[in-house]
């Protein structure tokens, strides 16, 4: 947790719902823990959350990605259509230094940076903004090798230069490779959003299991 305040008026934010839907929008007004955001275009009238539904407000700051849990309270008709969100008052902060790691399973390919030849394909076991642990099939992959990392996160293609930290056998023809990277900000934001989405899903699953 951090003492970072909620986003100000005119801040660009995302509203993430429990079912995985994410809507980009803008803060129109604030009153304490109440955020009034513009109803997302094309969905604000026909795909409105239920009052009392848990949501997450997410925004990017100069030091990383912030998320604030809250509750959707109402859809309001004003000069523009608005959604009212009541924040809980806490803000989670995820920075490059924190390098939060989550489990995953999306496909990943590693290409030799010099030749462009594919040297690994498989899936990543876990991922953070600074690296990924992958399991799959190797074709000439070695430690300290410079590679191009290619993967798709939440329908976004990520391609960035990295370096293989370790390669170890995982039984049969499979290997486990740890690759590290330092992504540019545009790619870093995609990874941070993926990490955040996976944490939201894990929290939702834990809450559902606790209720059984």
pLDDT in tens, 111-147: 999 999 999 999 998 888 888 989 999 988 998 899 9
| Tens digits of residue pLDDT in 166-178 | 888 877 788 889 8
Instruction: Identify the pLDDT of residue 170.
Output: 75
3-state class (DSSP) for residue 149: strand
3-state DSSP assignment of residue 203? helix
Among residues 143, 111, 136, 132, the alpha carbon closest in space to that of 121 is found at: 136
Q: What tokens appear for 124 in the block?
A: 């990543």
**Domain segments of the chain as ranges:** 12-95, 102-191
Is 12-95 CATH 3.40.50.720? no
Q: How many CB atoms lie within 10 A of CB 200?
A: 21
**CATH architecture, domain defined by 102-191:** Beta Barrel (2.40)
Identical fold for domains 12-95 and 102-191, yes or no, is no
Distance spanning both ends of the chain, measured CA to CA = 28
Question: Is the whole-model pTM more than 0.85?
Answer: no
Task: Give the C-alpha distances (Å, rounded to integers) separating 90 from 65, 68, 142.
Answer: 14, 6, 44
């Amino acid at each position: 947790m951090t003492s970072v305040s909620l986003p100000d008026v005119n801040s660009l934010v995302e509203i993430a719902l429990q079912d995985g839907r994410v809507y980009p929008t803008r803060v129109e007004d604030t009153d304490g823990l109440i955020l009034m955001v513009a109803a997302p275009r094309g969905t604000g009238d026909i795909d409105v959350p239920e009052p009392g539904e848990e949501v997450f407000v997410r925004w990017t700051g100069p030091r990383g990605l912030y998320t604030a849990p809250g509750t959707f309270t109402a859809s309001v008709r004003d000069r523009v259509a608005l959604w009212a969100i009541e924040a809980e008052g806490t803000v989670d902060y995820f920075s490059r230094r924190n390098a939060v790691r989550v489990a995953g399973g999306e496909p990943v390919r590693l290409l030799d940076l010099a030749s462009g030849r594919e040297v690994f394909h498989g899936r990543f076991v876990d991922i953070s903004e600074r690296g990924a642990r992958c399991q799959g099939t190797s074709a000439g992959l070695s430690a300290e090798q410079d590679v191009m990392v290619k993967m798709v996160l939440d329908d976004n293609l990520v391609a960035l230069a990295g370096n293989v930290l370790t390669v170890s056998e995982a039984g049969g023809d499979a290997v486990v490779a740890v690759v590290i990277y330092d992504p540019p900000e545009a790619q870093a934001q995609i990874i941070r959003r993926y990490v955040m989405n996976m944490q939201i899903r894990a929290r939702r699953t834990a809450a559902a299991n606790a209720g059984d």
